[in-house]
Amino acid sequence: MATNYTTTLTDSEKKAMEYVAVSVQDWADNALQNRARQAIDEIYNLEVARMTADPEITSIPADKDAVVLAANIDSAATREAASSPE
């Protein structure tokens, strides 16, 4: 499954991005995919450490995506809401 995101740039933002990037779309795609890759690595490492420390877990999936998708983690929005005073 894939998810699409859309953003809107003002005319000056568009011109500025065209000044620094050959393709604004490629730049945006790369920025999102690279940040997601970094988060995948972080989640994977946390989960492998958690599973390794749990004596009840006898095997760790070799598929990084499977580990990330199965991880019981809170989103940034949930973590922020929990830390914000009401």
> pLDDT tens digits for 7-63?
999 999 999 999 999 999 999 999 999 999 999 999 999 999 999 999 999 999 999
pLDDT band per the 50, 70, 90 thresholds, residue 84: confident
pLDDT of residue 5: 94
What is the domain extent for residue 59? 11-83
- The DSSP annotation for the chain comes to ----------HHHHHHHHHH-S-HHHHHHHHHHHHHHHHHHHHHHHHHHHHHH-TT-----S-HHHHHHH-----HHHHHHHHS--
Kindly tell me if the per-residue pLDDT of 1 is higher than 90.
no
pLDDT of residue 72: 96
Q: What is the total count of domains within the chain?
A: 1
